């Protein structure tokens, strides 16, 4: 018994020391999405701030593909030591039901660390689409089933699920055109190759203001503070519709709780800073602040929510 107590005490001291010294070398944040999108932008912001806080490099490693599965699986197979982290979004909570046979399960193979941000999406159209508002878009879509198309950054991403939820709730047939990243999808909508896209407000707002696309509606419960002239989907013709994109940080299961707690506290300090909230508000982004346990419950609840939406919408991983 004394030997067991000594061993347990030694382990506790080791974990405490590892958290106290953490990080003492470079930390890699794997972003399972292509560069240029909302997740990549906020991952780089967070990496810069963490590097400033702790004097160690936080390196962004973009590994897009298979609706975030490739990069996420790489994190799941990494050492649980706090030196490989996952930048995740609600694409991950969607994929728990949309892609059930993937090589990992979110709450089995990862530990939630902290949320980062959330933002509404905006439904935009190529500039020459013959519709002036959401009502006219719905009439056009219903008159030509399957003729219109919408781009997304890939199956299971918030952009894809926002489109599938819209189709189900509005009763329209619009072709999904998946891309390997939001930048390519956005480029083809701007170029007129695809008709529509649900995109994050912070990423698309300047194109809307510059008249490069038509903005039909935003996806939150209330109008966006940066696009106040654009109605919500709910008020413009599809009652009770709501879809957002949120981002968070996770680590492989088994990462020492003290390191998880240290990361949670520092991420919360960064995104909770008044100057960050002020800067993000201009972009249409809201900081998210939660403790480790609260964030774990949030992730679990979001998995349940999206499982229902996947079932109702009939969304498939391959289209």
User: Distance of alpha carbon 259 from its chain centroid, rounded?
Assistant: 23
Residues of the chain below pLDDT 50: 1, 11, 13-17
CA distance 108 to 103: 11
User: What is the predicted pLDDT for the residue at 289?
Assistant: 97
User: What is the predicted pLDDT for the residue at 156?
Assistant: 86
CA distances from 55 to 48, 58, 66, 286 (A): 10, 9, 34, 27
Q: Is the dihedral of CA 185, 212, 118, 28 positive or negative?
A: positive
Could you check whether 23-118+245-313 and 120-236 share the same CATH topology? yes
Contact 312, 138 (CB under 8 A): no
Contact 92, 76 (CB under 8 A): no
Containing H/E element for 121?
strand 110-126
Q: Where are the domains of the chain?
A: 23-118+245-313, 120-236
Six token digits for residue 120: 């509404």
Contact 277, 287 (CB under 8 A): yes
User: What is the predicted pLDDT for the residue at 105?
Assistant: 96
Six token digits for residue 149: 């198309």
In a 10 Å sphere around its CB, with 0-12 CB exposed, 13-18 middle and 19+ buried, how is residue 63 labelled?
A: middle
Q: Which of 123, 213, 100 is nearest to 172 (CA)?
A: 123
CA distance 300 to 285: 23
Contact 93, 310 (CB under 8 A): no
Helix (H, G, I), strand (E, B) or coil at 67: helix
Q: Which CATH superfamily is domain 120-236 in?
A: Periplasmic binding protein-like II (3.40.190.10)
Residues facing 178 on adjacent strands: 152
User: What is the predicted pLDDT for the residue at 314?
Assistant: 80
Helix (H, G, I), strand (E, B) or coil at 251: strand
The pTM of the full predicted model, rounded to 2 decimals, is: 0.84
What are the backbone angles phi and psi of residue 127, rounded to the nearest 5°?
-60, -30
Q: What is the pLDDT of residues 223-249, one digit of tens each?
A: 999 999 999 999 999 999 999 999 999
CA distance 47 to 27: 9
Q: What is the pLDDT of residues 55-73, one digit of tens each?
A: 999 999 999 988 899 999 9
In a 10 Å sphere around its CB, with 0-12 CB exposed, 13-18 middle and 19+ buried, how is residue 197 labelled?
A: buried
Six token digits for residue 235: 């008020």
Q: Which of 200, 162, 181 is nearest to 280 (CA)?
A: 200
Taking the C-alpha atoms of 209, 147, 154 and 214 in order, what is their torsion angle to the nearest 10 degrees?
Answer: 0
User: What is the predicted pLDDT for the residue at 17?
Assistant: 47
CB count within 10 Å of CB 7 equals 10
Domain 23-118+245-313: give its CATH code.
3.40.190.150
Residues in the chain: 319
């Amino acid at each position: 018994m004394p030997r067991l107590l000594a061993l347990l005490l030694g382990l506790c001291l080791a974990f405490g020391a590892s958290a106290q010294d953490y990080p003492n070398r470079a930390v890699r944040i794997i972003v399972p999405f292509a560069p240029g999108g909302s997740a990549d932008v906020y991952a780089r912001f967070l990496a810069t701030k963490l590097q400033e806080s702790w004097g160690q490099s936080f390196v962004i490693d973009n590994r897009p593909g298979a609706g975030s599965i490739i990069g996420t699986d790489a994190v799941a197979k990494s050492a649980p030591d706090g030196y490989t982290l996952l930048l995740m979004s609600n694409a991950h909570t969607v994929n728990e039901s949309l892609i059930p046979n993937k090589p990992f399960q979110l709450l089995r193979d990862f530990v939630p660390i902290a949320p980062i941000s959330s933002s509404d999406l905006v439904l935009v159209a190529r500039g020459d689409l013959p519709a002036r508002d959401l009502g006219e878009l719905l009439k056009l879509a219903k008159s030509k089933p399957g003729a219109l198309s919408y781009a997304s950054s890939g199956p299971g991403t918030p952009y894809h699920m926002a489109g599938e939820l819209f189709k189900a709730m509005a009763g329209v047939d619009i072709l999904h055109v998946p891309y390997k990243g939001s930048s390519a999808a956005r480029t083809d909508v701007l170029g007129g190759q695809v008709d529509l896209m649900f995109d994050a407000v912070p990423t698309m707002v300047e194109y809307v203001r510059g008249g490069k696309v038509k903005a039909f509606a935003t996806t939150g419960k209330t109008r966006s503070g940066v696009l106040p002239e654009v109605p919500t989907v709910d008020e413009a013709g599809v009652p009770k519709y709501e879809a957002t994109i949120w981002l968070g940080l996770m680590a492989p299961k088994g990462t020492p709780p003290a390191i998880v707690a240290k990361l949670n506290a520092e991420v919360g300090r960064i995104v909770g800073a008044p100057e960050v909230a002020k800067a993000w508000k201009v972009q249409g982004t809201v900081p998210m602040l939660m403790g480790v346990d609260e964030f774990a419950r949030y992730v679990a609840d979001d998995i349940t929510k999206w499982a229902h939406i996947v079932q109702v919408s009939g969304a498939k991983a391959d289209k």
